[in-house]
Structure 1
Amino acid sequence: MKFHSSAYAASLLAAALHSGVASAAYDTSKSPLLLLSNDSTMNFDLLTPLGESITGGGDVGPILAAAKDVKAGNMTSFTEVFYKLANDTKAQAEDPDNAYDPVNVRDTWFSAAGYFRKADNYLHGNWSNPLIESLWDEQLDAFNKGIAALPIPGKRIRIPATKGNFTVEAIWYSASESKHKKLPTLIIGNGFDAAQEDSYHNFVAPSLARGWNCITYEGPGQPTVRRNQGLGFIPDWEKVVTPVVDYVLSEKKDVVDSTRLILLGNSMGGYLAARAAAFEPRLSAAVLIDGVWDNYAAYARELSPELLAIYEAGNYTQFDDVLLSAREAGKLPTGAAWGIDQGLWAFRTHSPSDFFTQIKSYNVESFIHKIRIPVFVGDAELESSYIGQPKQVADALGHRATLHTFKGAAGFHCQTGAGQELSRTIHAWLNKTFNNTGDGH
């Protein structure tokens, strides 16, 4: 439907223009950091690879150079800059002189993979764009070369979901070469958009250094499963995690301490991990970065009152027309445009109203009482998506929960850019929890 030149239609378009749907960005006026872009969403998306650089996911200078070249608010510019950086880094990785040094191989391929992932960041508005597949193939190939060069190589595995028509994509990382040393183990999952390859830099590398085995995974709606199996998100996430637990406790039983098996969920993964923890009794503890109570509430608060009223009145065609027309015209702010693009792609729908209807199922209230294990609940002082929700989660869990608020430079969504503080805090809590209770229960 085209917009008519009526005052009413104009007011609806104006409402859409002021929305910030699904943006992980923050108010730059409150930023304690030097800004990398005048566009708040791109500022956050540039901080992400900079944060991953501490574990070899990029290099500080090239990322800052990319930040200088990215045109604020221009998604195409962001893709082009990181695509060039990815290919330049890939050429360095292919230099024969690097092949004799496994550290060179690992760091250069990990960096190339990270840059290819960032080049993909703003592509999902056009599902037929061939770069969505080709960039991902590049990042997978680069990352595989990186994990192959680890002191103990990572191993990709595919785990059939017994209660779903899909396959879980996972990567296993051993902390020891011993075949019979049972170690604590983290099961790590992301949420709305990040890849399990990002999890290596954010969670796996710091955990391996502390003697923890790790397995990362992706389910429906997440990057590789969405591409290879054509599946959008599902709310009953235990169907994804339970097969991973089955795999760990059977195939890896000789090297996994089953009394220290922890599930970690990042971003929207805070909901996904809570859902799985409520229905998977073999877990010893859970870490939620962040705590998520109600995804619909988080997304709805980003809409203007006018748009929200249209949706909640059931005027779905009108709601879709307003958002999609504004998006097509290039009139939405970056966070709103990205949020719509990613949300529709990840939930496999072309209808914003259908996305909002689906997301209503991603609410912990009906099952959170079933969680019987210790839970770390992360909060962030500058959180923009799940404001106030970590406390709701912690309050509902009562004595089982430890609520920790990250502040200052560590106070952004998922502690982006403050990976050392995040890792220190998580592992300090895990050590305290298991030392105090023995088996984590």
Structure 2
Amino acid sequence: MKMLRRTIPALLWIALTSPSHAQNETQPPTLPLSADDTFSFDLLSSLGTALYSGADIAPILGVAQTIEPGNFASFSHNYYALAKKTKAAAIEAECQSDAINARDTWFAAATYFRKADSYLHGDWNNPLIETLWNEQLYAFDKAIASLPVPGRRVQLPSNDNFTVEAIWYAASSDPIGGQRGTLIIGNGYEGSQEDLYHTIVMPALARGWNCITYEGPGQPTVLRRQNLGFIPEWERVVTPVVDYVLQDPSVDPSRIVLFGYSFGGFLAARAAAFEPRISAVLLDGGIFDTFDSFSSNLPPIALSMFNAGNKTAFDNLLDSVSNDPDVPTTLRWGIQQGLWSFKTHSAYDFLQMTKTYTLRNISHLISAPVWTADAEFEGFFVNQSMKVKEALGDQATYHLFSGPAGYHCQVGALQELNRVIFTWLKQTIG
């Protein structure tokens, strides 16, 4: 009887969010890699990094064949097996003194270790969470140490009793090469700074830009090492990074660009409102109001509980949903990841926290030009980028990615993403 009482809310949720209650589904713009839409998206995201040394193609297609749709343990197990195999290949390449093969294989191993961690956060005590993260850090550090200009990890103290974790990538080792534009690049809800090397850092370096990636509270390494969940005042994270890059003589102070990826599209915009040294802002994609975006995915019964302040009922409902394998993966993962990265065991408290992640009443403080991206098949922050454009008016450039490039954050279409970004930067700040 207890099991039945736990299951009924989840079944009700499924009924309320089934295709008969939702918008009609459209034909996907690319060949699905899994019968599970969310797994397919994640497989495509790692497949897409092959363009910039983040993975190999056939191994991921092989993993796609073996992962059981909707099974979080299966996803983790299969990526973990691939990661260990790839790590062994990297060690073998090192033994053969093949520096380039070793570097690219270490990069791929790091990607696979990170992917194996993606769906583990429903159980904070799972020891694999630390094991996989330590493995990916080791593999990634081996790789960036072998770059033509090695990447360098730095820890940047904040005035707010936390430390920003960052990686500096210089475009050149030439001390008299002149000043260059510098990208400050942050990820979002669950993505790591290591992911960003294969998203924008590598193509930026090829175009002569310095780059620094960073993580603050709520993001992978800071969350694990400092036990800190997200904070809304993201300028407390970005300002120490700006301070750091301005100490480097290769940095052109008039060309400091802040890039926010995924949920980082809110974080970067928030920081830019209070950091006047930013020359331009890139939001992929823009997020105007986090609570509006998250709460719009709730069926009426759940939203009614939340608005009534019925915390216990709301928490019980979302707990049953997040642990029900029959509930769509995106929803289960979204709840589990939200609790993990905001450091709360209460879905009610998590959703309350998101109310402070808004550009309402502060968007007018952003002084730099803004580029904000949207995606035809955006599945996480629907219509948010247009709201950023509307709030900023002519100060913002709105770009819609469509067709095969129209997934959230252009997974699988990173070449197109970078073409658009760097064309806009050249036209905007030179």
TM-score, L = length of structure 2: 0.95
Question: Could you report, residue by residue, the CA deviation over 1:298-328 in whole angstroms, capped at 9, with x for unpaired residues?
Answer: 1111111111111111101100011112333
Distance 1:330 1:72 in 2: 10
Q: Which residue of 2 aligns with 1:36?
A: 33
- Which of the residues 91, 95, 120 maps onto 1:94? 91
Q: Deviations over 1:223-277 (max 9, x none)?
A: 0000000000000000000000011112x1x110010000000011000000000
Could you say if the C-alpha distance between residues 410 and 115 of structure 1 is closer, same or farther in structure 2, counting changes exceeding 3 Å?
same
Does the aligned pair in 1 maintain the 2:93–2:101 contact within 8 Å?
no
Q: Provide the residue aligned with 1:125 in structure 2.
A: 122
Alignment length (residue pairs): 424
**Which residue is 1:66 aligned to?**
63
Aligned residue in 2 for 1:247: 244
CA distance in 2, matches of 1:118, 1:28: 27
In structure 2, what is the equivalent of residue 332 of structure 1? 327
Distance 1:339 1:315 in 2: 21
Q: CA RMSD in A?
A: 1.8
For residue 417 of structure 1, report the CA deviation from its aligned partner.
0.7
Residue identity matched to 2:343: R
Tell me which residue corresponds to 2:422. Answer: 427
Q: Is the aligned partner of 1:176 residue 2:180? A: no
Q: 1:27 to 1:70 in 2, by over 3 A?
A: farther
Q: Are the aligned partners of 1:28 and 1:35 in contact in 2 as well (CA < 8 Å)?
A: no
Structure number with higher relative contact order (C-alpha < 8 Å, ≥ 6 residues apart): 1
Distance 1:42 1:338, change over 3 A: same
Question: Does the Cα contact within 8 Å between 1:394 and 1:402 map onto a contact in 2?
Answer: yes
TM-fit CA distance, 1:99: 4.8
2: CA distance, partners of 1:75 / 1:11: 22
Distance 1:197 1:10, change over 3 A: closer
Is contact 1:378–1:390 with CA below 8 Å preserved after alignment? yes
In the aligned structure 2, how far is the partner of 1:18 from the partner of 1:226? 35
1:149 and 2:126 correspond? no
- Name the amino acid aligned to 2:204: S
Inter-CA distance 233–97: structure 2 relative to 1 (3 Å threshold): closer
Identity %: 52
In the alignment, structure 1 residue 139 sits paired with structure 2 residue 136: yes
Are the counterparts in 2 of residues 316 and 353 from structure 1 also a CA contact under 8 Å? yes
TM-score (norm. length: structure 1): 0.93
Unaligned ranges ≥5, structure 2: 18-22
Select 1:190's aligned residue among 174, 187, 190: 187
Structure 1 residue aligned with 2:230: 233
Residue 266 of structure 2 aligns to which amino acid in structure 1? Y
Aligned counterpart, 1:323: 318
Closer, same or farther: CA 165–208 of 1 in aligned 2, 3 Å: same
In structure 1, runs of 5+ residues without a counterpart are: 21-25, 436-441
Segment of structure 1 superposing worse, 389-398 or 89-98: 89-98
Query: 1:78 pairs with 72, 75, 78, which one?
Result: 75
Displaced runs of 4 or more, over 6 A: none
Query: 1:196–1:217: 8 Å Cα contact kept in structure 2?
Result: yes
- Which residue does 2:217 correspond to in 1? 220
Name the stretch that deviates more: 112-121 or 291-300.
Answer: 291-300
Alignment CA distance shift 1:85-1:75 (3 Å): same
Distance 1:78 1:87 in 2: 14
Partner of 1:287: 282
- The superposition leaves residues 117-150 of structure 1 with CA deviations (integer Å, 9 ceiling, x where unpaired) of 0000000000000000010000000000000011
Report the AA paired with residue 98 of structure 2: D
Amino acid at match of 2:47: L
Deviation at 1:30, TM superposition (A): 2.7
3-state SS, counterpart of residue 246 of structure 2 = helix
Per the alignment, do residues 98 and 374 of structure 1 end up closer, same or farther by CA in structure 2, a change over 3 Å counting?
A: farther
Matches within 5 A, 1:398-409: 398-409=393-404
